[in-house]
Amino acid sequence: MEADDGGDGHRGGAVGDGPTRADRARRVAHVLRGQVVRGAFPGGVLPDERALVAEFGTSRNAVREALGLLRDEGLVERRRGVGTVVVGRTYEHPLGELSGLAEVLQRHGTVVNEVRAARIVRAPGAVARRLELPEGSRAVYLERLRRVDGMPLSLDCTYLIPEVGEPLLALGPERLENRDVFELIERAAGRPLGSAEVAVRAVVADPATCAVLGMTAGGAVLAVDRLTRLADGRPADLEFIHLRGDRLTLRARLDRVREG
Amino acid sequence: MEADDGGDGHRGGAVGDGPTRADRARRVAHVLRGQVVRGAFPGGVLPDERALVAEFGTSRNAVREALGLLRDEGLVERRRGVGTVVVGRTYEHPLGELSGLAEVLQRHGTVVNEVRAARIVRAPGAVARRLELPEGSRAVYLERLRRVDGMPLSLDCTYLIPEVGEPLLALGPERLENRDVFELIERAAGRPLGSAEVAVRAVVADPATCAVLGMTAGGAVLAVDRLTRLADGRPADLEFIHLRGDRLTLRARLDRVREG
């Protein structure tokens, strides 16, 4: 990375003006953010400013600004006498498999679902259309707040077709608290799942969602829209999932499709 | 969905307290957000408040609050004499294939890359380790702002191993402006790509990134960390990509892996 004095002896083919301090800070933050998220710092303590200045070949001010960006994101904090430390931990969700979040997270800690709603509702028109239900049909609405080791991680709002959702309601709240929706659908409702269409966006969470997820106002969430189909292709489960941006990373492995 | 008066004749198995207005607004917003993003409203005009009240079986206040949430996200705006309209358009990126963003977006409009940096740098230690380069090795740093039909969509900051990056620098800025990095690597550097490991997070963009992307301060971005390998497995391309949350959706299709 460029030194603040504008030359590091390696420049070739430079295009455009030299970067501003904000640009340099941003570039340092890119690299550090990835390291924090992957747990690359032993003991969760970041190198001191002097070491980061040397590593990135940039100014102390750019390093400080980069650490400030990570603090603003809730990833690190400065602790007196220790330095900059990683706050909390980050969980990962593989995007390449169709798994319920709990199925994945229970590998990492104790998952508890707080059931905030579980009832029969009249499906809004747009929900009915996506679930291929007749206009005005009923659906089962489930809303669950998911905690891992006590920390809220996601708020899942789920519309189920009646033949899948009603057997779940009959199980009672306790089973809904301890089981993944996918597992419930497959075991309790006896319907094997097929595939899901997933859309992921980054959204600044509304104040109500921030409060429920225990985030400070104005924080970012991954807003996941997931329509899951039964093995026979019929849509069964439409979910709107909000995942804390500061605590969850989606991971995928992609393969290059050869042309021709 | 529940009516504000607390009953729609369909309740069964209700768990927990009735929702607050913020909860009702949030649930309306979940459904409308998905419709906006999928282009479900003819002419980009949302149904009027009365129709939404009827569709969701909720109060006018909850509908207004839901529309306010979508306005805050920059998805819709209120236009006098017309109603609530979708602002701009949203682009989609399939996550299931390893494609450069430009390869995907050029199906939708004219893609132009503004090259903000293209030079040889000393790779920061963490970058060198991920690219499996010796400590202190040089790398090629590319920074490009991508516009589709004039609208900034993503800021891509890329570290390339020298054997792949240096032939790209030699091409000059014009080719870097018009071509995807993946295409350049495969054609100009003559190195077929294999697979990539992708991590996606939601982050509130820092002020500098917001300014570059033409977003209002405090907006959310998808922060994508992507390490792409050559067909022989060697890492070649480490990218930190920031995608405007209000303009880009990642899509994937997932298949259920049968147990046992």
pLDDT in tens, B52-84: 998 888 889 999 999 999 998 888 999 999 999
Determine the Cα–Cα distance for residues B243 and B227; give it in Å rounded to an integer.
16
pLDDT at B104: 65
pLDDT at A127: 93
Provide the pLDDT confidence category of residue A257 given band limits of 50, 70 and 90.
low
pLDDT digits (tens, 9 = 90+) for B113-143: 899 999 999 999 899 999 999 998 999 999 9
Contact of A51 with chain B, judged by CB distance below 8 Å, is answered with no
Provide the pLDDT confidence category of residue B6 given band limits of 50, 70 and 90.
very low
Strand partners, B152: B147
Report the mean per-residue pLDDT for chain B. Answer: 84
**Among B residues 126-145, those touching chain A with beta carbons less than 8 Å apart:** 126-127, 130, 138, 141, 143
Assess whether pLDDT exceeds 60 at residue B213. yes
Closest Cβ opposite residue B124 in set A1, A37, A220: A1
pLDDT at B98: 60
Assess whether pLDDT exceeds 70 at residue A245. yes
Contact of A119 with chain B, judged by CB distance below 8 Å, is answered with yes
* DSSP-assigned letter for residue B110: -
Report the mean per-residue pLDDT for chain A. Answer: 83
Rounded to the nearest 10°, the torsion over CA B16, B26, A230, A195 is -130
Assess whether pLDDT exceeds 70 at residue A6. no
Above pLDDT 70, what percent of chain B? 86
Q: Please write down the HEC assignment for all residues of chain A.
A: CCCCCCCCCCCCCCCCCCCCHHHHHHHHHHHHHHHHHCCCCHHHECCCHHHHHHHHCCCHHHHHHHHHHHHHCCCEEEECCCEEEECCCCEEEECCCCCCHHHHHCCCCCEEEEEEEEEEEECCHHHHHHCCCCCCCEEEEEEEEEEECCEEEEEEEEEECHHHHHHHHHHCHHHHHHCCHHHHHHHCCCCCEEEEEEEEEEEECCHHHHHHHCCCCCCEEEEEEEEEEECCCCEEEEEEEEEECCCEEEEEEEECCCCC
Pairing of strands A193-204, A220-230: antiparallel
SS3 state of residue B104? helix
Which domains are assigned to chain B? 21-86 (1.10.10.10), 91-251 (3.40.1410.10)
Assess whether pLDDT exceeds 70 at residue B99. no
Give the pLDDT mean for A41-54. Answer: 92
Assess whether pLDDT exceeds 90 at residue B88. no
- Is B202 within 8 Å of A209 when comparing Cβ atoms? no
pLDDT at A98: 59
Determine the Cα–Cα distance for residues A111 and A120; give it in Å rounded to an integer.
25
Give the pLDDT mean for A92-121. Answer: 75
pLDDT at A137: 93
pLDDT at B132: 97
State the best of A4, A5, A21, A26 to mutate against chain B, taking most chain B CBs within 10 Å: A26
Assess whether pLDDT exceeds 90 at residue A128. yes
Q: Angle between the B21-37 and B49-56 helix axes, to the nearest 10 degrees? A: 110
pLDDT at A61: 92
Q: Does residue B183 or residue B234 have the better pLDDT?
A: B234
Give residue B258's identity as a one-letter amino acid code. Answer: R
Give the pLDDT mean for B38-57. Answer: 90
* DSSP-assigned letter for residue B89: -
